[in-house]
């Protein structure tokens, strides 16, 4: 007789922060030094899809990323996320109903795919850990929906509770469990139970807002976010004032801007926070540089576009933001997408004959929350 295999597939999108997370106060639990806020891109071509299977016949827990098996290091992030999910399965499901299969004691086979090139330098750990957490949680019946073999994923009863687990895989992953506009509240507890993601507004709230992703360099980044933010916490004076005097008021101002669909405020705060994040990187000793000449040219182009627009109409038209790499994400409203793409293509003509995802400039696509 074959032992049953339980299986769930879940998928989660990439998110791009407007208020940046940079700095941990607890590196094991992944507790941040400041709250952050992001937009989840609902575009279909920027997602991770993860299938988790559980069977008493699996001899060990295994993981494949884009079809290649990875080593699961004991005690490392993935291992800790899975331990947390097993504990929740046992306490919330198995201990309450002794008739359910003891999946918490069985091994898992997990296969995760990114439908965008992992080498594109776009945040893949956020969507990856969010999809993994969502799929194992659904497999373990940690949501309101009945569990059965080969069920497909439905949104969990409480995505904020799952965000506590995804956070321990990669901080920014906690925000990818929600669509739309998402805050990661830093919390106060040393155990991290209040460091979770909440939805500020759903994707339907501001349908005209779009994100244009400009891949400037598709190579792997120089300094990983994990190593970079630790160096910043240890050496940057500027980070201290950012945490204390800047981020708290920006969190409330940008939340208000989002709720009011006030693009001018949203754009200004987003650009200022990207700038301060990169200033904090420069203030790290030795300094960390994520922006390159093309990134800085994009900042100059958007700044000039906004200057001309403010002169003519009184309003900003675009906001740039950069994570731990040179690639730009430009937020704008629908009516300006064409202008911005044409402007960027004037400065950085795309060689459409070249193979995709080489190191030349390219426009990845237009997403929206």
Query: Any contact of residue 171 with ligand PMV (CB under 6 A)?
Result: yes
Q: How many residues does the chain have?
A: 369
Backbone angles phi, psi at 94, to 5 degrees: -70, -40
* DSSP for residue 324: S
CB closer to ligand PMV, 109 vs 221: 221
- How many C-alpha atoms does 200 have within 13 Å on its Cβ side? 27
- Residue 9, helix vs strand vs coil: strand
- Cβ of residue 171: shortest distance to ligand PMV, in angstroms? 4
CB closer to ligand PMV, 32 vs 156: 32
Which residues lie below 8 Å from residue 211, measured CB to CB, with a gap of 6+?
16, 39, 41, 329, 330, 331, 366, 367, 368, 369
**Strands 318-322 and 328-333, bridge-based pairing:** antiparallel
Query: Any contact of residue 196 with ligand PMV (CB under 6 A)?
Result: no
- Cβ of residue 277: shortest distance to ligand PMV, in angstroms? 7
- Cβ contact 337:366 at 8 Å: yes
Peptide bond into 222 cis (omega under 30): no
CB closer to ligand PMV, 289 vs 347: 289
Of 84-92, 134-142, 166-174, 257-265, which part binds ligand PMV (CB under 6 A)?
166-174
Query: Any contact of residue 138 with ligand PMV (CB under 6 A)?
Result: no
- Hey, what are 121's tokens? 């330098």
- Cβ of residue 178: shortest distance to ligand PMV, in angstroms? 14
Query: Any contact of residue 21 with ligand PMV (CB under 6 A)?
Result: yes
Of 48, 54, 125, 284, the one binding ligand PMV (CB under 6 A) is 125
CB closer to ligand PMV, 9 vs 176: 176
Enclosing H/E stretch for 339: helix 337-347
Of 34, 50, 170, 270, the one binding ligand PMV (CB under 6 A) is 170
Q: Which of residues 255-274 bind ligand PMV (CB under 6 A)?
A: none
Of 172, 218, 270, 284, the one binding ligand PMV (CB under 6 A) is 172
* DSSP for residue 245: I
What's the rounded Cα separation, in Å, for the pair 126 and 228? 17
Query: Any contact of residue 123 with ligand PMV (CB under 6 A)?
Result: yes
Q: Which of residues 1-20 bind ligand PMV (CB under 6 A)?
A: 17, 20
Of 209, 323, 361, 364, the one binding ligand PMV (CB under 6 A) is 323
Question: Which one, of 213, 226, 19, lies nearest residue 116 by Cα?
Answer: 213
Work out the number of other CB atoms within 10 angstroms of the CB of residue 199. 18
- Cβ of residue 107: shortest distance to ligand PMV, in angstroms? 27
CB closer to ligand PMV, 8 vs 288: 288
Q: Which residues bind ligand PMV (CB under 6 A)?
A: 17, 20-22, 36, 123, 125, 170-172, 225-226, 323-324
């Amino acid at each position: 007789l074959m032992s049953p295999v339980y299986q769930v597939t879940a998928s989660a999108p990439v998110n791009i922060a407007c208020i940046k997370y940079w700095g941990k106060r607890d590196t094991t639990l992944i507790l941040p030094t400041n709250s952050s806020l992001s937009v989840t891109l609902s575009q279909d071509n920027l997602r991770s899809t993860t299938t988790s299977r559980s069977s008493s016949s699996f001899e060990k827990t295994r993981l494949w990323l884009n079809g290649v098996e990875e080593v699961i290091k004991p005690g490392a992030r993935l291992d800790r996320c899975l331990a947390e999910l097993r504990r929740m399965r046992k306490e919330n499901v198995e201990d309450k109903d002794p008739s359910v299969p003891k999946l918490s004691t069985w091994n898992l086979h997990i296969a995760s795919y990114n439908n965008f090139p992992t080498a594109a330098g776009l945040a893949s750990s956020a969507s990856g850990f969010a999809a993994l957490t969502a799929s194992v949680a659904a497999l373990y019946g940690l949501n309101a929906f009945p569990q059965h073999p080969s069920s497909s994923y439905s949104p969990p009863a409480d995505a904020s509770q799952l965000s506590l687990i995804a956070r321990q895989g990669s901080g920014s992953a906690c925000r990818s469990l929600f669509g739309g506009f998402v805050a990661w509240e830093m919390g106060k507890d040393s155990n991290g139970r209040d460091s979770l993601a909440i939805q500020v507004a759903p994707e339907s709230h501001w349908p005209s807002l779009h994100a244009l992703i400009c891949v400037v360099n598709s190579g792997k980044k120089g300094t990983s976010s994990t190593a970079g933010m630790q160096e910043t916490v240890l050496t940057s004076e500027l980070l201290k004032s950012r945490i204390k005097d800047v981020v708290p008021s920006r969190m409330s101002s940008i939340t208000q801007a989002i709720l009011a669909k006030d693009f001018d405020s949203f754009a200004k705060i987003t650009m200022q926070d990207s700038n301060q994040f990169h200033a904090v990187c420069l203030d790290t000793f030795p300094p960390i540089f994520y922006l390159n000449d093309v990134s800085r040219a994009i900042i100059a182009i958007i700044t000039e576009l906004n200057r001309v627009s403010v002169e003519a109409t009184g309003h900003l038209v675009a906001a740039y933001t950069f994570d731990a790499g040179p690639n730009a994400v430009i937020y704008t409203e629908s009516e300006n997408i064409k202008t911005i793409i044409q402007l960027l293509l004037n400065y950085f003509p795309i060689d459409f004959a070249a193979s995709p995802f080489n190191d030349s400039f390219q426009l990845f696509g237009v997403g929206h929350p």
